[in-house]
Amino acid sequence: MNKKLSTKTMVILAMLTAAEIVLNRFLSINTWNMKIGFSFVPVVIAAILMGPVYAAIVGALGDFIGAMLFPIGQYFPGFTLTAALMGLVWGFFLREKQTISRIVLATVINQFILGLIVNSYWISMLYGTPYVALLGTRVIQSAVLTVVQVVVIQILVKVLPRISKEIEQ
């Protein structure tokens, strides 16, 4: 991250951020307390190809720009912080090795600690919903998304080397 950003890196980050916004704002199922979709995919790609800092940037910028351009509810910086932290987790666990245990651990941390516990707290603050009741409604979402994310990331790990070779050329 200390190096000057190349044009190629900035373009890749911009494309992944744009993909995150589209997947999050237009191709996800959103309700006031739940979100189901594939907006994690561009963040995971950034994590694997470029590391935790870049994945955090894609996650945070995708959340912030998406909220500014296509608001679903009121903007709250806590969700942007959580999106950045999720990118960091993906990057720390998936940058060097993408074993099944690292994929599962990163997914569980993101879904149950950051997604369920932290984001539920943000939702509780914003809407005045009792926190414990909110956890009960969101735990099924976290369990389902954990399985979906592990499967999708395993597929990504298999196809990314081919895509990466194309980008290199």
pLDDT of res. 72: 81
CATH of the domain at 141: 1.10.1760.20
pLDDT at 117 over 70: yes
- According to the model, what pLDDT value does residue 169 have? 62
Q: Is residue 2 part of a domain?
A: no
pTM of the predicted structure, to 2 decimals: 0.91
Structural domain contains residue 100: yes
In-domain check, residue 1: no
Coil, helix or strand for 30?
strand
* Residue 46 forms part of a structural domain: yes
| pLDDT for residue 30 is more than 80 | no
In a domain, 150, yes or no: yes
- Domain of residue 153, residue span: 7-168
Note the helical H segments in the chain.
7-25, 40-50, 52-69, 77-94, 100-108, 119-127, 131-168
